[in-house]
Homo-oligomer: A and B are copies of this chain.
Amino acid sequence: MAKRVSLWNAGCPVARALDVIGDWWSLLIIRDAFDGVRRFNEFQAGLGIAKGMLATRLRGLVGKGVLDTAPASDGSAYREYVLTEKGRGLFLVIVALRQWGEDYLYRPGERRSSLVEARTDVPVGKLKLRSAKGRPLEWSDTRVTRC
């Protein structure tokens, strides 16, 4: 979001990514978009966000190329908000957040949604970092180059 201080010019892709979707609501809106939400009121009801804030956030995400507007699929006069390819690129960010939440933020037995293969309803596997050649990598096997 346009904060007072923008990290856009940093040479760090993490900072630049957070500059775009690092505010409180954006990732939740995007999560809902991945779950099939398309209409203003659906977002509003699902998130409990104020309408004004939602309008601002949707406008911002469209402006940043994460969402796009499309004519309503049901023929009504209103537009819908759909993920662009850039927006769909955030899928793994959402998945990573989800898997971290599942691993560290729930106690056994607590009800929660889960990400499954659509055809079989089998939970998806855990994300894993690998080398360019496919060997599993831990954090300690990596470093960040100075830019």
Contact = CB atoms under 8 A, between A and B. Distances in A.
B22 A24 contact: yes
Contacts of A137: 117, 124
Contacts of A99: 13, 92
Q: Max chain B CB contacts within 10 Å: which of A14, A23, A94?
A: A14
B116 A122 contact: no
A127 B129 contact: yes
B93 A93 contact: yes
B34 A28 contact: no
Nearest to A3: B24
Contacts of A48: 5
Given A93-B93, A100-B92, A112 B13 contact: yes
Interface of A: 3, 5, 7, 11-18, 20, 22-24, 27-28, 31, 34-35, 48, 65, 86, 88-106, 111-119, 121-125, 127-134, 137, 139-147
